[in-house]
DNA sequence: AAAGCATGATTCC
DNA sequence: TGGAATCCCTGCTT
């Protein structure tokens, strides 16, 4: 299947400023940023000329120094690479295209000797995602064996359905970046979102305006949340404040069930945080793990801790992911900062007793069993590789596939996690946001990638000109062809184009602006009042139009800045 | 428009 | 072993 291409036109967008005062709290006064699309102008620097000038300047400096008879002070007037501090090249954005520092290893595959632009993992596919070569550490017998075991995976892969169009959004809904998302297990239009500040958002994206942010549940990062398997109005959340919260979504009442810091703050070295979390319906347990390698279990009925904590990862390292196998709930998968993902048998859980250790080259952000058979494992590591083990019953010595994909660690971003599409019967489609940007007709955009993990092929990359921030948090709906994205502080709901047109009468999107909006509204998502620039087309109208030869795209497509419903905006 | 800040894994000593 | 320096395509503010 060829990669799904970008949409050639974008629908009209209805923007509404949030009127209720439910917006998430935010200390600072906020000002919307500009979003006037300035098309990239390629500045072709005449290097030689510049060098001459610089040399002249340098010579002058040297001359002055000589006159004064003092020891020469080294003043470099040459432009210096901000990455390696050497001259002769410069790293950074040239328009919407990022130029790597050639002295550093490739930002994509991390190998030295080339840059992202010429990375072999990018060249063949134009957009940076290709399969790594399959490792040949397995014998043919392994594959035969594996085929016998994996019986419940369909032989013919159905066509993937990709939600590729933003249907509605809440902009600046959270007061800090979004850290996790969860769809309501039974109510199809409810999206739960957690943020770095510990706030919990509940948004009915069908009735777009129905949204709440709870700000008093946690005091810092909400790392993971799960619904109670026995009561879908109850949500558990694990936070870096060291507590598990249990929230009744009807009443908004919340209680802390576990507190790893009962004595309060005694400095960063003693503060405990909760990261990984899952629920085990069979055993009626909430499983959580902390920042120093321990696993805790809590009974969901009594809300009491059961048993002692168990060291499941290297002491002192974060355990960021926990998941019980969907088919065999006594199988537990964990992953963390010690560069391992591990499989455990919950019937004999103790330190050092893992069934399997899956080594990675860097921190493992996430590890998931496949959603239906539970027999595959998908991990996301900070070495820019997605790894897939095709069968937990087969040879687990090395991953079945490693897919090079840009999802680096950045301390200011929520860690990326590749997640399975729960609706894909073949258990091969996964979604993950992309770190490095693509020059998209002059705008640097960060697509969300859909990857066929059975081949490593990029199935689709979805993006939206108005989302200029990176989208590390993405969740596919368990039943509908819907995807939720958390990008910076905003939430987006994507649908497939056809579905979207069924839902919306016209080709219209509903965008709700939250957060304090300050003075003159102007720019992205915010052309509400007087900023009524009719220039909605986004085309290389630039001055020296020598840019984008390679981007052989239509000369213009409609960007449709998100408009207000108010009378003024539609011309 | 440029600079500053928030702040986590890793490396180095 | 532990603290300091380093970092890199961020996102926001002043």
Rounded, the Å distance between the CA of A81 and C1' of C8 is 12
Mean pLDDT of A52-73: 44
Dihedral sign of CA atoms A119, A121, A124, A125 in order: negative
- Distance in Å, residue A317 CA to nucleotide B13 C1': 22
Q: What's the CA A216/C1' C10 distance, rounded, in angstroms?
A: 27
A468, closest nucleotide (Cα–C1'): C11
Residue whose CA lies closest to nucleotide B8 C1': A411
**Smallest Cα–Cα separation from A274: which of A261, A255, A290, A257?**
A290
The pLDDT of residue A272 is above 50? yes
| Mean pLDDT on A41-57 | 40
Strand B lies under 7 A from the Cβ of residue A286: no
Comparison of pLDDT for A6 and A204, the residue scoring more = A204
Strand B at less than 7 A from CB of A337 = yes
Mean pLDDT of A247-260: 95
Whether residue A366 contacts residue A320, with contact meaning beta carbons closer than 8 Å, is answered with: yes
Q: In angstroms, how far is B11 C1' from A362 CA?
A: 14
The answer to whether A382 CB is within 7 Å of strand B is yes
Q: Please state, rounded to an integer, the average pLDDT across all residues of chain A.
A: 79
**CA–C1' gap, A28 and C11, in angstroms:** 14
pLDDT tens digit sequence for A401-427: 999 999 999 999 999 999 999 999 999
Q: How large a percentage of chain A has pLDDT more than 90? A: 63
Angstrom distance, A177 CA to B11 C1' = 28
Position A246 pLDDT exceeds 70: yes
pLDDT of residue A157: 84
**DSSP assignment of A242-293, as one string?**
SEEEEEETTT--EEEEEES-TT----TTT---EEEEEEETTTTEEEEEETTS
**Residue A456: what pLDDT?**
94
- Residue A517, pLDDT > 70, answer no
Residue A229 dihedral angles phi and psi, to the nearest 5°: -70, -20
Alpha carbons A33 and A538: distance in angstroms, whole number = 18
User: Which residues sit close to strand C, CB under 7 Å?
Assistant: A 28-31, 33, 82-84, 91, 93, 98, 100-101, 104, 107-108, 116, 172, 177, 269, 406, 408, 410, 412-413, 435-437, 444, 446, 468-470, 487-489
- Between CA A215 and C1' C14 the distance (Å) reads 27
What pLDDT score does A319 carry?
97
Q: Is the pLDDT of residue A460 over 90?
A: yes
Beta carbon of A414 within 7 Å of strand B? no
- Cβ of A155 < 7 Å from strand B? no
Per-residue pLDDT at A559 exceeds 70 = no
pTM: 0.81
| Strand B and A209 CB separated by under 7 Å | no
pLDDT on residue A80: 85
Determine which helix (DSSP H) or strand (DSSP E) holds A191, and give its type and residue range.
strand A190-195
**DSSP code, position A515:** S
Separation of first and last alpha carbons in chain A = 39
Question: A216 CB contacts (<8 Å, ≥6 apart)?
Answer: A254
Is A271 near strand B, with its CB below 7 A from some atom of it? no
Residue count of chain A, please give it: 571
Q: Which residues contact A173 (CB under 8 A, 6 or more apart)?
A: A23, A24, A193, A201, A203, A211, A213, A489, A490, A491, A512, A514, A515
Taking only the tens place, the pLDDT of each residue in A161-187 is: 999 999 999 999 999 999 999 999 999
Q: What is the mean pLDDT of residues A65-92?
A: 67
Residue carrying the six token digits 């069924």: A502
Q: CA A363, C1' B10: Å apart?
A: 11
Nucleotide whose C1' lies closest to the alpha carbon of residue A337? B9
Residue with tokens 């909605």: A536
SS (H, E, C) A80-127: ECCCCCCECCCCEEECCEEECCCCCCCCCCCCCCCCHHHCHHHHCCCC
Q: What is the pLDDT of residue A551?
A: 31
A429/A448 Cα distance (integer angstroms): 13
Domain annotation for chain A: domains and CATH numbers: 89-122 (no CATH), 164-495 (2.130.10.10)
Lowest mean pLDDT among A147-151, A323-327, A448-452, A455-459: A147-151
Least confident of A222-236, A445-459, A494-508, A535-549: A535-549
- Nearest-angstrom CA–CA distance, A160 and A3: 11
A296-303: long-range contacts (C-beta < 8 A, 24 or more apart)? Answer: A296/A258, A298/A244, A298/A257, A298/A258, A300/A228, A300/A230, A303/A246, A303/A257
pLDDT in tens, A475-503: 999 999 999 999 999 999 999 987 777 76
Label each residue of A466-509 as H, E or C. Answer: CCCCCCCEEEECCCCCEEEEEECCEEEEEECHHHHHHHCCCCEE
Nucleic strand B within 7 A of Cβ A179: no
Lowest mean pLDDT among A97-111, A384-398, A446-460, A493-507: A493-507
CA distance linking residue A35 with residue A522, whole number of Å? 8
Distance (Å, rounded) from C-alpha A447 to C-alpha A470? 8
Q: Mark the nucleotides of strand B covered by protein, meaning any atom under 7 Å from a CB.
A: 6-10
Q: Chain C: nucleotides under 7 Å from a protein CB? A: 3, 7-14
**pLDDT on residue A498:** 78
**Rounded CA separation A195/A18 (Å):** 19
Is pLDDT of A549 > 50? no
């Amino acid at each position: 299947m060829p990669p799904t291409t970008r949409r050639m036109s974008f629908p009209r967008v209805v923007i509404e400023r949030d009127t209720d005062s439910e917006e998430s709290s935010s200390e600072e006064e906020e000002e919307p940023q500009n979003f006037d699309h300035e098309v990239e102008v390629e500045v072709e620097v005449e290097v030689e000329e510049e060098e001459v000038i610089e040399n002249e300047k340098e010579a002058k400096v040297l001359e002055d120094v000589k006159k004064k008879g003092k020891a020469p002070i080294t003043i470099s007037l040459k432009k210096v690479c901000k990455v390696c501090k050497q001259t002769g090249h410069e790293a950074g954005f040239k328009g919407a295209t990022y130029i790597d520092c050639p002295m550093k290893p490739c930002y994509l595959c991390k190998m030295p000797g080339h840059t992202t632009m010429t990375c072999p993992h990018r060249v063949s596919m134009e957009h940076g995602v290709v399969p790594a070569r399959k490792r040949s550490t397995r014998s043919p017998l392994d594959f035969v064996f594996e085929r016998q075991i994996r019986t419940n995976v369909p032989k013919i892969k159905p066509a993937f359905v990709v939600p590729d169009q933003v249907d509605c959004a809440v902009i600046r809904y959270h007061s800090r970046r979004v850290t996790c998302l969860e769809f309501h297990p039974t109510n199809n239009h409810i999206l739960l979102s957690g943020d770095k500040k510990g706030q919990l958002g509940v948004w009915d994206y069908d009735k777009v305006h129905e949204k709440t942010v709870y700000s008093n549940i946690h005091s810092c990062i909400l790392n993971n949340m799960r619904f109670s398997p026995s009561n879908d109005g109850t949500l558990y959340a694990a936070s870096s404040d060291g507590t598990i919260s249990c929230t009744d979504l009807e009443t908004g009442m919340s209680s802390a069930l576990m507190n790893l810091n009962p004595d309060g703050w005694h400095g960063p070295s003693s503060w405990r945080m909760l990261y990984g979390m899952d629920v085990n319906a069979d055993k009626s347990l909430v499983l959580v793990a902390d920042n120093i390698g321990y696993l805790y279990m809590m009974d969901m009925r009594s809300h009491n801790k059961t048993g002692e904590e168990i060291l499941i990862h290297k002491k002192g390292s974060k355990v960021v992911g926990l998941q019980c196998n969907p088919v065999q709930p006594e199988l537990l998968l964990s992953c963390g900062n010690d560069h391992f993902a591990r499989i455990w048998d919950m019937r004999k859980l103790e330190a050092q007793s893992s069934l399997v250790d899956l080594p990675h080259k860097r921190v493992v952000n996430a590890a998931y069993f496949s959603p239906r058979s539970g027999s595959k494992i998908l991990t996301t590591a900070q070495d820019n590789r997605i790894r897939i083990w095709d069968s937990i019953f087969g040879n687990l010595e090395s991953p079945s596939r490693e897919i090079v994909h840009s999802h680096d660690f950045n301390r200011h971003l929520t860690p990326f996690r590749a997640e399975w599409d729960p609706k894909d019967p073949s258990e091969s489609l996964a979604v993950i946001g992309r770190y490095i940007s693509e020059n998209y007709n002059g705008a640097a955009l960060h697509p969300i990638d859909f990857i066929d993990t059975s081949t490593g092929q990029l199935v689709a990359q979805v993006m939206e000109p108005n989302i200029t921030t990176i989208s590390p948090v993405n969740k596919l709906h368990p039943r509908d062809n819907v995807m939720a994205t958390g990008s910076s502080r905003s939430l987006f709901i994507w649908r497939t184009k056809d579905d979207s047109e069924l839902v919306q009468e016209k080709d219209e999107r509903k965008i709700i602006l939250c957060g304090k909006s300050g003075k003159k509204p102007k720019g992205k998502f915010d052309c509400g009042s007087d900023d009524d620039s009719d220039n909605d087309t986004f085309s290389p109208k630039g001055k020296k139009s020598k840019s984008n030869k390679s981007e052989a795209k239509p000369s213009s497509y409609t960007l449709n800045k998100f408009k207000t419903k108010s009378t003024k905006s539609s011309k």
